[in-house]
Structure 1
Amino acid sequence: MDPTPTGVPPSGRPHASAEEVEAAFDDPKLANVLYHDWEAGTYDHKWSISYDERCISYAVDIFRAVAGEEAAPYPTAMELGSGTGFFLLNLMQGGVVKRGSVTDLSPGMVETALRNAEHLGLDVDGRVADAERIPYPDDSFDLVIGHAVLHHIPDVQEAFREVLRVLKPGGRFVFAGEPSRIGDRYARRLGQLTWWLTTTVTRLPALRDWRKPQRELDESSRAAALEAVVDIHTFDPGELERTAMRAGAADVHAVTEELSAAIVGWPIRTIEAAVPESRLTPRWRWYAYKTWLTLSSVDRNVLSRVLPRRLFYNVMITGTKPRGPVALSPDNGMRG
């Protein structure tokens, strides 16, 4: 899907028809457009995304966890598969990036990201773009970032090649929030079990006030059906490193985070999706956030020192574009 000549994305569609959803099961890129257009208006709320100190600190911390402590801000950065702009906009507010560009296959997401940037007073442009054909010239950016995007891309190695093409020589890429192979198994199973328990228990007369209207539950189930199509990959950290290196990247390094935080966090998110908004009090949200922070600290400072990195849920990877010509490999990208 190409950007418009002005770089302003067309408006996305908030809901897909049943016929479109059925067609999307055979077309992962169509599924990504439909699903993320569908989610664009509520995505920040669904994932408790904000553009204040809470998420600014989170974005900067995970960037530094994988890229290292780099003091000087990057003059230009592009977020690949930006969604609503969470990673880029919070890094800009945190002083890591000066000027940014957002790209996403979903017009609705690009539209939302640009609206968020305008509201925050940030210097950001945006284009609807396929990660395997990024619509920017060679050597355009000092930094390319992404959060929870690689697992949606059919040809991950080709995407890395495109990232290296648009990076300036010596430029860096940082991708975070990717599901590990093992982590995805336990997170999905915990989420499915929690959804079943919550929607079953809230059928009881005494708990009806805790149950969303059936129409909203059906809508969530329909979105979940598309999720099974748009989530194409899970990653072993070592394999992801090798994929980036085959694409021509240098200084490649992957780290992982969240084990206990993911085991508790996924059921919490599932409960929040299954119960009415009125039941999610500020006290509950504060409790959920503090619990996640505490467990993340345990994962980072204790468990990561004694357990293999492949056991953790989130994979993060960084690398650079060589200052000489990028050596490309004919190998296919990761699939499955």
Structure 2
Amino acid sequence: ISAAIRLAEREGVEITMHKGVAERIPLASDEFDVVIAASVIEHVLDVKAVFGEVYRVLKPGGVFWFETSSSVCPRQNEIKGFPFFGWYPDRLKRRIMEWAKTRRPHLVGHTKTPAINWFTPRKARRMLREVGFTKIYDRWDIRLPSEGGRGCPEGSRIRRIALRVIQLNAVTKFLANVLVPNCAYAAIK
């Protein structure tokens, strides 16, 4: 929090910080147009409560965007030294993360709150629907046609073709998700 405040001061931007937990957001209902949670959801204790709170504080038509850890991709950024970690059962992943936090903290970047949640597209959509979101888009649905993937020049024909192929159906989306160690969703209230 202090780093964000210093950055805002340095850039001359006025911000308001609220300290709390995502499961109980200390703000009024129907207040915000957009809520962004980048690399947060994998660390919270009660994902459904967080999604419910986000839904509550969003105005009708508001957008919730989040990026988090994926269970689809075998490669993960949450822990070092565990090949195919994304494919381990969630219960085993949590036990390994707890072990690493206490016994081998360097494996989880010395964090006190390592990841404890991982998502598949089905799980993310189900949990978002359970709290009231009806329009849910994954990272491939919300990409612009000029986008496609890393390593290709912006707007290149290869990128556009790659994105069109990925967007063809659930199978091509799944295959693309296997290659990406995180997932991203936008949900509209």
TM-score, normalised with respect to structure 1:
0.39
Which residue in 2 is equivalent to 1:181? 71
Match of 2:138 in 1: 254
**1:222 and 2:79 aligned:** no
Give the counterpart letter for 2:162 in structure 1.
Answer: V
Q: Which residue of 2 aligns with 1:114?
A: 5
CA deviation after TM superposition for structure 1 residue 139, in Å: 1.5
- Map 1:1-40 to 2 at 5 A: none
Secondary structure of 1:124's aligned partner = coil
Question: Is the Cα–Cα contact under 8 Å of residues 78 and 114 in structure 2 kept in the other structure?
Answer: no
Write out per-residue CA displacement over residues 177-221 of structure 1, whole angstroms, 9 at most, x where no aligned residue.
Answer: x121032x3235994289xxxxxxxxxxxxxxxxxxxxxxxxxx5
Task: Measure, in 2, the Cα distance between the counterparts of 1:222 and 1:155.
Answer: 23
Report the alpha carbon displacement of residue 294 of structure 1 after superposing the two structures with TM: 1.0
Which residue among 2, 13, 17 is the counterpart of 1:126?
17
| Structure-1 separation of matches of 2:15 and 2:107 | 31
| SS class of match (1:114) | helix
Corresponding position: 1:171 with 2:31: no
8 Å Cα contact 2:35/2:63 also seen in 1: yes
Q: In the alignment, residue 179 of structure 1 is paired with which amino acid?
A: S
Tell me the equivalent position of 1:243: 127
Query: Are the counterparts in 2 of residues 256 and 314 from structure 1 also a CA contact under 8 Å?
Result: no
Contact in 2 for aligned 1:238/1:254 (Cα 8 Å): no
How many percent of aligned residue pairs carry the same amino acid? 27
Amino acid corresponding to residue 136 of structure 2 in structure 1: V
Cα pair 1:256 1:315 within 8 Å, conserved: no
In structure 2, how many angstroms separate the alpha carbons of the residues matched to 1:232 and 1:171? Answer: 27
Return 5+ residue gaps in structure 2 as ranges: 84-103, 142-148, 167-171
Deviations 1:27-58 (A, max 9, x none): xxxxxxxxxxxxxxxxxxxxxxxxxxxxxxxx
TM superposition outliers: structure 1 runs of 4+ over 4 Å: 188-191, 225-229, 295-301
In structure 2, the CA distance between the partners of 1:252 and 1:181, relative to structure 1 (3 Å rule), is: same
Gaps of 5+ in 1: 1-109, 195-220, 258-291, 322-336
Tell me how far apart the structure 2 counterparts of residues 114 and 134 of structure 1 sit (CA, whole Å): 19
Instruction: Report what 1:147 is aligned to.
Output: 38
Deviations 1:271-326, CA, capped at 9 Å, x for gaps:
xxxxxxxxxxxxxxxxxxxxx941797788527624524413221111122xxxxx
The residue type equivalent to 1:128 in the other structure is K
**Which residue is 2:29 aligned to?**
138
Which residue number in structure 2 is paired with residue 302 of structure 1? 162
Q: 1:165 to 1:190 in 2, by over 3 A?
A: closer
Per-residue deviation at 1:251? 0.8
Task: Mark the structure with the bigger radius of gyration.
Answer: 1
Between the aligned partners of 1:180 and 1:134, the Cα distance in structure 2 is 25
User: Which structure has more RCO (C-alpha within 8 Å, separation ≥ 6)?
Assistant: 2
Which secondary structure does the structure 2 equivalent of 1:125 belong to? coil
Are the equivalent residues in 2 in contact too, given 1:237–1:310 (CA < 8 A)?
Answer: no
Q: State the Cα distance separating 1:169 from its structure 2 match.
A: 1.7
CA contact (8 A) 2:42 2:115 kept: yes
Q: CA 1:296–1:132 in 2, change beyond 3 Å: closer, same or farther?
A: farther
User: What are the Cα deviations for residues 104-133 of structure 1, in whole angstroms up to 9, with x where unaligned?
Assistant: xxxxxx111121112112231111110000
CA distance in 2, matches of 1:296, 1:158: 41
Q: What is aligned with 1:282?
A: none
Q: Aligned residue pairs: how many?
A: 150
- Does the Cα contact within 8 Å between 1:145 and 1:174 map onto a contact in 2? yes
Higher helix share: 1
